Amino acid sequence: MNDVQKNNLFYVCSLIEFLGRKTKNTRGTIVQTLGKKEIERQLEIAEVNHCLSFEQVSDEIIEYFNIEEGHFDSVGLCKYNVPSFQAIGKEYQRLIIDVSSEKSNIVDMIYEVFQSFISEEISDFNSSVYYSSPEYLKHSYLEGKLLA
């Protein structure tokens, strides 16, 4: 994966996190609503969307896909400092790169990671999972559960 592709992946992961926070939906719900075709499109237009605010891009996506407000308020429930959506986007980017092989379809990997158990664990800002090492997140994801 080259630097442009990594940057595009970071942007899309951050956008998914931003959408989840803004609409109070799990990140899995966001990727399910968007679908693989739209995730692929967002990767393709990420370089252009970098110039736009996340607010503008997310408003357009929310309107187009008619994303309704959910009940997963990871920010409102947080008792501590909330990590930025871009910090969480970076965690997802690293995890997706770490669990992907050269033969992996990146859209499939985005979809799978955000649909997995690890996504809600990362989004629980009252825990320390999002501060965990990339290796811990990778191995937990591959095992299908948080490792002790």
DSSP the chain: --HHHHHHHHHHHHHHHHHHHHHT--HHHHHHHHHHHHHHHHHHTHHHHTTS-HHHHHHHHHHHHTPPP-S--TTTT-SSPPPPHHHHHHHHHHHHHHH--TT--HHHHHHHHHHSHHHHHHT-TTSSGGGS-HHHHHHHHHHTS---
HSE-CB at 70 with a 13 A cutoff on CA atoms is 20
Q: Give the span between the Cα atoms of 26 and 119, in whole angstroms.
A: 8
* Residue 93, in any domain of the structure: yes
Tell me, what's the pLDDT at 74? 84
pLDDT tens digit sequence for 55-75: 999 999 999 999 999 999 888
Q: Give the span between the Cα atoms of 66 and 62, in whole angstroms.
A: 5
pLDDT tens digit sequence for 95-140: 999 999 877 899 999 999 999 999 999 998 888 888 899 999 999 9
**Tally of structural domains, the chain:** 1
Q: Are 83 and 125 in contact (CB under 8 A)?
A: yes
* Residue 57, in any domain of the structure: yes
* Residue 148, in any domain of the structure: no
For the entire predicted model, the pTM comes to 0.94
Q: Which domain holds residue 84?
A: 3-143
* Residue 114, in any domain of the structure: yes
* Residue 11, in any domain of the structure: yes
Tell me, what's the pLDDT at 6? 95
